[in-house]
Amino acid sequence: MSFLSDHKSKFNDLDYHLKNKDQLRRIANGGNSILFSYPPIEENEYIRKAEELYSNNAIFINIGDLLVTYIESIGWPDFKELYHDFKNTPYKLFKAEDSNDDYFNLIITEIINADSQGKIPMIIRSGALYGTGIENINIMEHNSIVTLSLPLVIFYPSKIDEDNLLFLNFRPASKYRCTLIK
């Protein structure tokens, strides 16, 4: 289906789940997240529509911009060296066990900030997570996300193939702690 024929149904589903938080937690196995799935090629259209519909109620957290912010905080030359050192274990660079200043914590902090303002945290450009070792399930299962007052919405470029969720149309992804809008 194309954006024109598909978006109304998906945004209606999103509205329903945002208004029915108790049901969301049951469907999401205790989670507090909504994965909003769409074809990667139509990402710009879906984000534009979401910004049009939710600009007053949500804060859009651009994961790509946060990645650049994280890299700049380290410095490009140092980041290049670190990335080379951790190329086989990127999660140690982006989601370090002993650091509160990594990319993962930057994402979590932005989500918490949105919620503290009474706004729906909406992650966009989640394709930037590819290659970081951070999975959507890492974000959805974080204690701070599960206890948010408003659900986290992750705009998720993907497709459903034989009931499997495929991030960026090819990488298997988890849909366990969330409600999936497909």
Token pair listed for 170: 């090819």
Place of tokens 């290049």: 80
Alpha-carbon span 105 to 139, nearest angstrom: 10
User: Residue 166: is its pLDDT beyond 60?
Assistant: yes
Cβ proximity of 131 and 171 under 8 Å: no
Average pLDDT over residues 14-36: 88
Compare 170 and 179 and report the one with higher pLDDT. 179
- Cβ density class 141-152: b for 16+ within 10 Å, e for less: bbeebbebebbb
Q: Average pLDDT of 80-93?
A: 93
- Its pTM stands at 0.93
**Position 106: which residue type?**
L
Percent over 90 (pLDDT), the chain:
70
Q: What is the mean pLDDT of residues 34-39?
A: 93
Residue 30 has pLDDT above 70, yes or no: yes
* Rounded average pLDDT over 1-29: 83
User: Per-residue pLDDT averaged across 121-135, rounded?
Assistant: 94
Task: Give pLDDT, residue 10.
Answer: 93
Residue type, 81: E
Q: What is the pLDDT of residue 161?
A: 78
Report pLDDT for 177.
79
- Binned at pLDDT 50, 70 and 90, residue 170 comes out as confident
**What pLDDT is recorded for position 94?**
95
Average pLDDT value for the chain: 90
For the record, the structure tokens of 117 come out as 């303002």
